[in-house]
Amino acid sequence: MPDYQHHWKDGNTIHLPLGKIVCIGRNYAEHARELNNPVPDEPLLFIKPATSAVHITRPIDPPKDQGEVHFETELAVLIGRELTNASETEAADAILGFGLALDLTLRDVQSQLKAQGHPWERAKAFDGACPLSPFVDAATLVRDLHNDHLTFTLDIDGHRQQSGDTRDMLLPVLPLIAHISHHFSLLPGDVVLTGTPAGVGPLASGQTLALELDDALFVETRVI
C-alpha cells in the first residue's frame, strides 16, 4: 500500500524502497503435507507486489467476499544490496535485516486456481496480503547463517498456532536467496519470504495475533 515503508524495530526508517516480495511455497515439508500438496523437487517461487505490503500492527481487514483467508507466518529477509547470480556468501553479505510476515492467502480462490493450472496471484497478491513487521539488524541477530538458526512463533488469542525453525526448511535461507538471484535480480529493499511451517488456518474477526522472532522481536495485530 502507498503508506508502507520499511522500519527498524526501534522505529527508525529504513531508507530503501519496497520493490517486490519474493515468496517460496512449501519450504516446510509438514506444511506441504497438511494441505495435501507434494513436497517440491525445486523451489516453488511466486511474487507479491509492493502494493500488498502493510505494517503488521495495522488491523488486518481481509476480503470478506472471496471465501476463507488463511494466515501463513514466515521469516522475512530484507535485502540490502543488489544480487544477480549470487553465491551463498554474497547472499549472506546482502542480508540487511530479518523480520516476520503474514502471507495472507485466499485459500478457496487458490484451490480453484490450482485445479485449473493457473497462477496464484489472485489469491496471494491482493492489497494488504502481506503484513510485514519491523526488521531487526541481521548482524545483531545471527552471526553465521550457515550454522546458526532462527525460530519464530504465532499465537492466536493466547494459543500457540505455528512454530518455525530455519533448520526445518527444505531450502535454507542462503541457498534460497542465491537460487532466486540466479533467476531474477534482487534489489535493495526487496523482501524474501522463506516459507511457512505447519499450522496455517483461516482468520476470524476479533482474533488477536502475536508473532515473535527469537527473543529479538515481538509484534501484535488483530483481525477486524
Q: Residue 1: what pLDDT?
A: 47
pLDDT in tens, 38-54: 777 888 999 999 999 99
Looking at the chain, the whole-number percentage of residues with pLDDT higher than 70 is 97
- Whether 36 has a pLDDT exceeding 80, the answer reads no
Q: Residue 32: what pLDDT?
A: 60
User: Can you tell me the mean pLDDT for 52-60?
Assistant: 97
Q: Residue 140: what pLDDT?
A: 92
- Whether 22 has a pLDDT exceeding 70, the answer reads yes
In whole numbers, what is the pLDDT of the chain averaged over residues?
94
Distance from C-alpha of 105 to C-alpha of 157, rounded to nearest angstrom = 20
pLDDT in tens, 65-88: 999 999 999 999 999 999 999 999
Q: Tell me the three cell numbers of residue 26.
A: 512449501
User: Can you tell me the mean pLDDT for 85-108?
Assistant: 97
Cβ-proximal residues to 211 (8 Å cutoff; 6+ apart), any chain? 56, 73, 100, 102, 133, 152, 153, 154, 155, 217, 218, 219, 220, 221
- Whether 147 has a pLDDT exceeding 50, the answer reads yes
Distance from C-alpha of 136 to C-alpha of 60, rounded to nearest angstrom = 22
Of the pLDDT bands very low, low, confident and very high (cuts 50, 70, 90), residue 3 is: confident
- Assigned superfamily of 20-222: Fumarylacetoacetase-like, C-terminal domain (3.90.850.10)
Q: Coil, strand, or helix at residue 27?
A: coil
CA dihedral 56, 18, 72, 64 (to 10 degrees): 70
Q: Residue 146: what pLDDT?
A: 81
Of the pLDDT bands very low, low, confident and very high (cuts 50, 70, 90), residue 94 is: very high
User: Can you tell me the mean pLDDT for 14-23?
Assistant: 97
**pTM of the predicted protein model:** 0.94
Q: Residue 2: what pLDDT?
A: 55
Residue 65 DSSP code: S
- Whether 172 has a pLDDT exceeding 70, the answer reads yes
